[in-house]
A = this chain, B = another copy of it.
Amino acid sequence: MMNNNPSFSFHIPTKIVFGCGEIKKLATEELPGKKAMVVISSGSSMKKYGYLDLVLRLLTENNVSAIVYDKIQPNPTKAHVMEAASICKELGCDFVIGLGGGSSIDSAKSIAVMACNKGDYWDYISGGSGKGREIQGALPVVAIPTTAGTGTEADPWTVITDEEKQEKIGYGNRYTFPVLSIIDPKLMVSIPPKLTAYQGFDAFFHAAEGYIAGCSNGISDLYALEAIRLLYKYLPKAVCDGNDLVARARVAWASTLAGMVESTSSCTSEHSLEHAMSAYYPALPHGAGLIAISRAYFNTFRNDCTKRYMKMAEVMTQSKSNRPSDFIEALERMQKECGVDQLALSDWGIKEEDFERFATNARDTMGGLFQFDPRPLSNEEIIAIYKESYR
């Protein structure tokens, strides 16, 4: 079993509806109210591909009226959360639907929180300059992902950036699990190859970090290893042919499983290190940042959880592993097959001088994740990870 923790708890109250074409269930599932706010990105894809129209039509069939908030950016901001929450309150929405990528669904969660709680969103955030107050509840959230990566459809987490403070911080509790998530891989065929890879690796690292985390356990291990196995096998196929629905479905399911890892174990500091980078360089996609630092990051812990590295290598390659570096090699191979093995921090204009403030920001804003690392990371090691990923 190799479980770190013989005691653990499991609580994922979300109803998950999964499958190609299952978006149609939005018309028949019991929804948590009669008036919804549908949150989408400021980009054109939800309209262009007809997903927004489809969702609005299905809501009408289910006797739910809807308003649309369409300003969410790739790194969603506190300003938009506050604006949408105020509209939500004003118009008396019963629940919030996040339609799109992680940014829209995360925003939906945070909007749902601020529609029910006073003051500023950062009053409730822990970490950075957040005040860490407790919330009294939140509107129910329905998640309809059109990307496969964040896992936000199966976890309570939402990551919002305060642009002024350059703080990108995760937040979540029992109120911020979606009540219903509909994962329809057919809505994902339009994702371009590069983004498919970035997002898929985000899911991969949720699983891999959750598997080496100090709080891993019998249930999170089960989800993590299955997600890792599926992504190794199917992510290159989904990147290569976006219309391969079998691959899309496996990757989408792996992403949801990796979200369940985030609900039962935790990410480690790889995510803190990445959030610090994209807080300063908002154009850097989260998944690309993770990929760029991943080999150096996982190399750092290579000798700290050897059995777990070998187990990950085994479910990836489906053959016996004798050394922890088999995992690093399998990861490199997978990145090569997905065409993302050459990513470097310098590609996004990051400078070597940034590393110190990245390291400080990582601990200040998402320092909590460091406690789940296989062993404590020194500041020198963090800088070394950034350096090795710079090229």
Contact = CB atoms under 8 A, between A and B. Distances in A.
Interface of A: 1, 5-22, 218, 222-223, 226, 249-250, 253
Chain A to chain B: the 3 pairs with minimum beta-carbon distance, closest first: A7-B19, A11-B15, A10-B16
A5 B18 CA distance: 10
Instruction: Give the oligomeric copy count.
Output: 2
Contact of A9 (B15, B21, B218): B15
Contact of A226 (B7, B10, B13, B222): B222
Contact of A18 (B1, B10, B222, B223): B10
Contacts of A6: 19-20, 249
28 contacts: A1-B250, A5-B19, A6-B19, A6-B20, A6-B249, A7-B18, A7-B19, A7-B21, A7-B22, A8-B18, A8-B19, A9-B15, A9-B16, A9-B17, A9-B18, A10-B15, A10-B16, A10-B18, A11-B14, A11-B15, A11-B16, A12-B12, A13-B13, A18-B218, A218-B253, A222-B222, A222-B223, A222-B226
A223 B223 CA distance: 10
A253 B1 CA distance: 12
Contacts of A15: 9-11
A218 B16 CA distance: 13
Contacts of A13: 13
Nearest to A5: B19
A206 B19 CA distance: 25
A15 B177 CA distance: 13
A99 B9 CA distance: 19
Nearest to A17: B9
A281 to B, nearest CB: 37
Nearest to A6: B19
A22 B16 CA distance: 28
A321 to B, nearest CB: 16
B7 A20 contact: yes
A266 B238 CA distance: 31
A186 to B, nearest CB: 11
A10 B154 CA distance: 10
Nearest to A180: B11
Nearest to A229: B1
A184 to B, nearest CB: 9
A20 B9 CA distance: 12
Nearest to A246: B6
Nearest to A10: B16
Contacts of A226: 222
A9 B1 CA distance: 27
A367 to B, nearest CB: 26
Contacts of A1: 250
